[in-house]
Amino acid sequence: MPQATLARKNLDKRFADLARVEMTRPSKGWIRAIRDALGISATQFARRLGVKQPRISALEKAEISGAVSIQTLRAAAEALGCKFVYAILPETSLEDLVRVQAAKRAEQELRRIHHTMTLENQSLNSSDIADERQRLINELLNGSMRRLWEDP
């Protein structure tokens, strides 16, 4: 089994657990929500983080706007006695994403082939088209993953 396939399967297993977790950011952001829940003032938090108190307000605003760095979030989490977790979760499994992309690429190639053959008065029937579509999908899935994502 190719390394990319094993990597997708491994990540899909890890994502399965995370996909069940619904994490909607609180309206004031995670930092402020946790700080408030712990009863830590902005001044106390600034001291724990090693910054001046006005930086805390800026940090909390940056989190809400999405302009805060991962490094800063990690430091803030540690200062709050928390663990920072970062993930990019696919909408579906990685395997499904690859299969959908292979089907798209196969369809693009099939349209080109079918058009050329029609011009040469050798158009394919629906059964031949279906067979060729599946052959192209299999070829893409078993070939280089880079080819799969190249622009046509």
Least-confidence region, from 26-35, 69-78, 96-105, 130-139: 130-139
Which band of pLDDT confidence, cut at 50, 70 and 90, is reported for residue 51? very high
Q: Which comes out higher in pLDDT, residue 39 or 88?
A: 39
> How many structural domains does the chain have?
2
**Pair 43, 105 in one domain:** no
pLDDT in tens, 90-123: 988 999 999 999 999 998 888 887 666 665 566 6
CA neighbours closer than 13 Å in the CB half-sphere of residue 112: 8
Query: Is the predicted pLDDT of residue 71 greater than 90, yes or no?
Result: yes
Length of the chain equals 152
CB 57 within 8 A of CB 71: no
The pLDDT value given to residue 122: 65
**Pair 65, 101 in one domain:** no
Tokens of 79: 């200062």
Residues 6+ apart with CB under 8 A from 52: 46
Q: Which of 34, 51, 79 is the last residue of a domain?
A: 79
Q: Domain range holding 65?
A: 3-79
The mean predicted confidence, pLDDT, of the chain is 88
Query: Is the predicted pLDDT of residue 30 greater than 70, yes or no?
Result: yes
Q: Give the Å distances, CA to CA, from 23 to 19, 29, 86, 87.
A: 10, 12, 12, 12
